[in-house]
Amino acid sequence: MKISFIGLGTMGRPMATHLLRAGYDVMVYNRSRESSLKLAEAGASVASSPKEATQHSDIVITMLSNDRAVEEVILGENGVLAGAKAGQIVMDCSTISPKTSQKLADQLAGIGVDMLDAPVTGSEPQAIEGILTFMVGGKKEIYEKCLPLFEVMGKASFYMGKSGAGSYIKLANNTMAAINLLSLSESIVMAAKAGIDPELFVQVVNGGGARSGMVDTKSPKMINRDFHPNFATELMHKDLTLAVDIAADMNIPVPVLSLVRQMLQMGMSKGYSKEDVCSVVKLYEEWANVEVKKHDQKNL
């Protein structure tokens, strides 16, 4: 089976690397050729365009930043559609609007190409470890055909239903994750303001009903002042904007989601766009005039 992987950013590079290590014949394309050349050192061949990558593959996997990028790669002059042929599969792992997923699936179906929308939970560390979870929309038989690829790149995959279903679930998941992140930010700053060791606070949280994945992954970054972007603020804000849009389409009130999105917008206005989404804690720190950081155990 020949695989083409398009989009070698924070998530795509480790995902493609896992496929190479599993012995797959992988061709890569990235807008920045430097990223492609790094994968070439690991055994990948390098395409000059999405069209060329598609012409040399059975399955095309895309992992891109937003709707515009996915549409350009698939529908552009030298895009996937231009190089595709009947019987191929396109698997888009990007987080995009379900409407875009459905539109692209329809256009590819017109030439006999099946598409899965297969966004993931997890960020850079999970991609590197190969423990992502995939939420997949499209034909069930195509999902089952791609199961070996999901197993190489992740720890689990779930078939959610027809085209667009994976994208809907990803936005619902990120809504919950972002809300959990804001609850962690408010609470850990409250503890810090009270003079409590934030690491001890996290231990208490993990022993009860307030524990969450965000506590596991983001509290260490907050406490260690590590705002390196495993998942950038601007990307989460983009996802929440998509979630607000689909909620409006379905006539669902989302007051908490709307507030959280505005909080991330405030973080971006402070210059945190490229920092990890947990940098939102710095807004609370500024308001409370306190910094979340490790306590000096000698002075306790």
- 52-75 confidence digits (pLDDT tens): 999 999 999 999 999 999 999 999
| Four-point Cα dihedral 15, 21, 26, 30, nearest 10 | 40
pLDDT of residue 263: 98
Architecture of the domain spanning 2-162: 3-Layer(aba) Sandwich (3.40)
Exposed/middle/buried for 47, CB within 10 Å: 0-12, 13-18, 19+? buried
* pLDDT averaged over every residue in the chain: 96
Q: Is the pLDDT of residue 146 over 60?
A: yes
The distance of Cα 290 from the centroid of its chain, to the nearest Å, equals 31
Please say if the pLDDT value at position 300 is more than 70.
Answer: no
The whole-angstrom separation of Cα 30 and Cα 243 is 27
The confidence score (pLDDT) of residue 76 equals: 95
Task: Please state whether beta strands 45-46 and 89-92 pair in parallel, antiparallel, or not at all (unpaired).
Answer: unpaired
Task: Specify the 3-state DSSP secondary structure of 274.
Answer: coil
pLDDT per residue over 227-239, tens digit each?
A: 999 999 999 999 9
* Candidate list 51, 85, 170, 293, residue with the active-site label: 170
* CB-based contacts of 281, cutoff 8 Å, min separation 6: 184, 185, 188, 189, 222, 292
Start-to-end CA span in the chain (Å):
59
Evaluate if pTM is beyond 0.95.
Answer: no
Q: CA distances (Å), 134 to each of 57, 75, 188, 291, in order?
A: 21, 24, 30, 36
| Chain segment 128-140, per-residue pLDDT in tens | 999 999 999 999 9
When pLDDT is averaged across residues 186-196 and rounded to a whole number, the result is 97
The whole-angstrom separation of Cα 33 and Cα 56 is 18
Domain spans in the chain, listed from the N-terminal domain onward: 2-162, 169-299
What percent of the chain is predicted at pLDDT more than 90?
Answer: 95
Do residues 52 and 187 make contact, with C-beta atoms less than 8 angstroms apart?
no
pLDDT tens track for 203-224: 999 999 999 999 999 999 999 9
Confidence of residue 103 (pLDDT cuts 50, 70, 90): very high
Q: What confidence tens digit (pLDDT) does each residue in 2-19 have?
A: 999 999 999 999 999 999
Q: What residue type is 87 in one-letter code?
A: G
More confident residue, 297 or 81: 81
Q: What pLDDT shows up at residue 34?
A: 87
Active site residue 38: no
Confidence of residue 297 (pLDDT cuts 50, 70, 90): low
Structure tokens at 112: 């006999």
Hey, what are 266's tokens? 């405030």
Predicted local distance difference test score (pLDDT) of residue 19: 97
Q: 173 falls in which pLDDT band (50, 70, 90)?
A: very high
Angle at 246 between CA 240 and CA 250, to 5 degrees: 140
**Which tokens belong to 215?**
């506590």
d(CA 88, CA 92): 13
Q: Which CATH class is domain 169-299?
A: mainly alpha
pLDDT value of residue 295? 86
Contact assessment for residue 89 and residue 116, using Cβ atoms and an 8 Å cutoff? yes
Percent of the chain having pLDDT more than 70?
Answer: 99
Q: How confident is the model at residue 35 (pLDDT cuts 50, 70, 90)?
A: confident
Which one-letter DSSP state was computed for residue 276? B
Name residue, tokens 């690491």.
Answer: 199
